[in-house]
Amino acid sequence: MRIAAATQGSKSAVLCLPISLVLVAFLAHIGRLSGRSLQVGDEGVAVRDKKGNQIGSIHWIELSLVPETYDVAELRVKRRDNRLQKAILVPMQRDEAVINRWSGSARFWEKHREIIRHMFAPITQALVEEAQIGSGQLVLDVATGPGEPTLTLAELVGPQGKISGVDPIPEMVAAARREASRLELRNVQFDIAFADHLPFPADTFDAVVSRFGVMFFPSPLDAVREMLRVLKPGQKLAFAVWHSAERNPFHYSLSRVVDRFVHSPPLEQDALDTFRFAARGKLLEILIQAGVTAPAERLLQFTIHAPMLVDAFWALRLEMSKAREQISVLSPEQLTELKRQALESISEFSTDRGISFPAEVLIISGAKPR
């Protein structure tokens, strides 16, 4: 049997089929759909506002994977045979601005997936070492985006193991599934899910990892606790987050130029941002609050290598980042000058083998108590 997870605003619903009952329960749940539309697709049902922006969705997931530990309320809907059909309502936090931004960039992350995999390979390896991932294991990758590092880890765990990747963005999950199908991988599974409500039973995985995801979790503490729930006792989870912006020209070579042309208001405290956990000890403290044992943090210094010309890298970074939206307000003349300055900035890191940036990332880990 299959069920659907529907999200709207600050709430989510997990609903049972048939589809007519899903829609009835969903409409009753969100209440005010005036001026909004439902778009049915293979991944589920998207809810869009008058401008076409996605503001909620129903996602299809397997009933057998819904954790029994959810604190839920039940909505009962009468079926044609007069038996009651349950709809499980699950609280869920969402930041719609972040969701919409990542939805819009999914096609670019899919387009550049191979170069992104290459650039971030040292981080993936660090997570493998920290979480002690090996052959035959069951591993969870949270906030997998278009499928990395899930797809890389699939080869490591081999046919006797399995990798599950989850992400809240339907477009990202669709891209991940396409690549897994192209590669004919049989030991990977991708699901649409938020980090603080994972569709897996307790004590399922031998390792849990998240590469550049936790910075965008509305409630990192709830997410870490949920990851611990699905982790087997004694096993490890590991996160990778960017260290300070000043130590990562991969970011500032473009962001500093954009800031000269576009005013960005100061970020609120603990805003969902790339460098949210750049300060040493900040994410580590959350893991400690969540109850991990053997909490650890280490600084990973490495080189981001992009075997491409400066112009090509400029296009890649623009499409990968929020700068794409930021510069949309500029005039053609301003865009021309911004690009000139950006190419000059990036050229400082150009070599005869492509673009090479020194980089710093924090690797934070802990184990589930036995």
Domain match, 72 and 144 both? no
Co-location of 82 and 114 in the same domain: no
Relative orientation angle of helices 96-111 and 170-182, to the nearest 10 degrees: 20
Give first-to-last CA distance, the chain, whole Å.
Answer: 33
More confident of the two residues 68 and 173: 173
Structurally, how many domains does the chain consist of? 2
Calpha distance 186→64 (Å, rounded):
19
Identify which has the larger pLDDT, 69 or 103: 103
Q: Based on the domain organization, do 111 and 69 belong to the same domain? A: no
Which is more confidently placed, 300 or 57? Answer: 300
Domain boundary among 92, 119, 149: 92
Residues 85 and 104 in one domain: no
Report the alpha-carbon distance of residue 99 to residue 216 in Å, rounded.
10
Q: What is the pLDDT of residues 188-198, one digit of tens each?
A: 999 999 999 99
- Domain stops at, among 92, 124, 152: 92
Q: What is the CATH number of the domain that holds 150?
A: 3.40.50.150
Structural domain range at position 48? 2-92
pLDDT given at position 56: 53
Q: Are residues 126 and 38 in the same domain?
A: no
Co-location of 105 and 9 in the same domain? no
Residues 202 and 281 in one domain: yes
Q: Is 232 in the same domain as 148? A: yes
Closest to 231 (Cα-Cα) out of 201, 189, 265: 201
Does 75 share its domain with 112? Answer: no
CA 303 centroid distance within chain: 23
- Residues 73, 164, single domain; the answer is no
Q: Are 216 and 248 members of one domain? A: yes
Amino acid at 117: R
pLDDT band at residue 248, thresholds of 50, 70 and 90? very high
Of 92, 108, 124, which one is at a domain's C-terminal end? 92
187 and 289 co-located in one domain: yes
Give the model's confidence band at 28: pLDDT under 50 very low, under 70 low, under 90 confident, else very high: very low
